[in-house]
Structure 1
């Protein structure tokens, strides 16, 4: 008799233990603290690179490599691939941004798309916060850094006698070189990596590599035509990275299953079946 009761008790034990997610952060502060090295290390690299740009002519040396002469202009002006790169640079923003909007709008009538709303909301926020808001709407107009082809050292004539301005240094010249808007759109391919953050290493590595390579390729051609400095490209990468990490934290991506596709029907079926099984066993236990 006692053996039968113990077997029945084992059947109705809960499927998941309450302490199974004890290692996961419980709030935003704990989640941010867990990502402290993913915040501090890239930030330290960016700050160190910026300080070097103030002391050494890294940007000028890099741009001079592509400058032919005052008459011939820039090497990238003669490359067909530069025009192609300029045209495809908005592709990540268009694919991720418009795709997210479609999911959010049509998801009102489609249960399958509605289950992917958390993913769409995250991607749309990264697109809006990174390239559109921070890069193009706020930092570029505020810094107003002159472009390489505007500098007197590279044959710039309008306005006259324009000198080099280091990154994050304010300028009165209407150049809007810092940071690169086109490169920031290319680096957007890094955004899907945060959907797998702390869960799957290979997708994170894949999307990060794709975003860095795509954005770097666009930045290379933008430097080749005298439109941007090397530091413009580096900071574009950093801004997009921190935008993705910030949205991951603020939208609760650190919570278990936050970006996973929801399947409420299956969950309800499992819950109902377990409850029915438990209720069916209770009369038998009492009779025994």
Structure 2
């Protein structure tokens, strides 16, 4: 499997460079505030927050990545018991690590609790009590958990599964990578609409998870390992 999997970095470079360009635009303009303002009115609040799609994504949208990582963990452990599963061992290890390191450690374990960016619904411009902070200006622990988006990160983690599709299924593989990126963006849109995150939070989640995914695939699957 690993021998047939040759990673072409187009999906990585297109995504990361595109997201960085949008992050730079957020830094140079007031897009973060302006975009969130579309979904907020002083008399109603976050008027689309309870739309069924956004509520469903908030409550259940994490499950695809959880199922993917859990299934990969089962196969990973079982590969030491069933010889037929051994060719999938490294691929499953990557799937588990992407979810554990990306949304798990980096996003929810380190950045969210320690960066200290107030969520949109907590800043004064949208009826809250805190000052707005751009993404590059951390406030420290206890000041907010907006940066980056945990829900979007779990959505973007599905890219790890899409990249596993062999290159001989070219159009399908491309479509699945695009669908996984789209799912991450959809998860992020829901959190923006609900006042939980700014657009730059979502973009940074994409950069972090896609970067971790690419580095793990390159390290563990780009070339065969002795005895694999």
Q: TM-score, normalised by structure 1?
A: 0.69
- In structure 2, runs of 5+ residues without a counterpart are none
Matches within 5 A, 1:194-209: 194-196=163-165, 200-209=169-178
Contact preservation (8 Å) 2:23, 2:204: no
Contact preservation (8 Å) 1:191, 1:207: no
Contact preservation (8 Å) 1:194, 1:245: no
Tell me by how many angstroms 1:146 deviates: 0.6
Determine the structure 1 residue equivalent to 2:89. 117
Tell me by how many angstroms 1:155 deviates: 0.6
Tell me by how many angstroms 1:202 deviates: 2.7
Q: Given the alignment, which residue of 43, 47, 64 partners 2:37?
A: 64
Q: Distance in 2 between matches of 1:78 and 1:47?
A: 31
Q: How has the CA–CA distance of structure 1 residues 185 and 75 changed in structure 2, closer, same or farther, with 3 Å as cutoff?
A: same
Tell me by how many angstroms 1:39 deviates: 5.8
CA shift digits 1:243-276 (9 cap, x unpaired): 110101221x1116x7xxx8xxxxxxxxxxxxxx
Determine the structure 2 residue equivalent to 1:18. none
Determine the structure 1 residue equivalent to 2:159. 190
Tell me by how many angstroms 1:64 deviates: 0.5
Q: TM-score, normalised by structure 2?
A: 0.85
* Residue 179 (structure 2) pairs with residue 210 (structure 1): yes
* Residue 17 (structure 2) pairs with residue 48 (structure 1): no
Determine the structure 2 residue equivalent to 1:143. 115
Matched residue of 2:48: which SS?
A: helix
**CA-based RMSD:** 2.7
Matches within 5 A, 1:149-164: 149-156=121-128, 160=129, 162-164=130-132
Tell me by how many angstroms 1:41 deviates: 5.5
Q: Distance in 2 between matches of 1:63 and 1:43?
A: 23
Matches within 5 A, 1:98-117: 98-117=70-89
Q: Given the alignment, which residue of 199, 213, 221 partners 1:244?
A: 213
Aligned residues: 222
Q: Distance in 2 between matches of 1:78 and 1:66?
A: 12
Tell me by how many angstroms 1:62 deviates: 0.7
Where relative contact order (Cα < 8 A, 6+ residues apart) is larger, the structure is 2
Q: Distance in 1 between matches of 2:61 and 2:95?
A: 17
Q: Distance in 2 between matches of 1:143 and 1:255?
A: 36
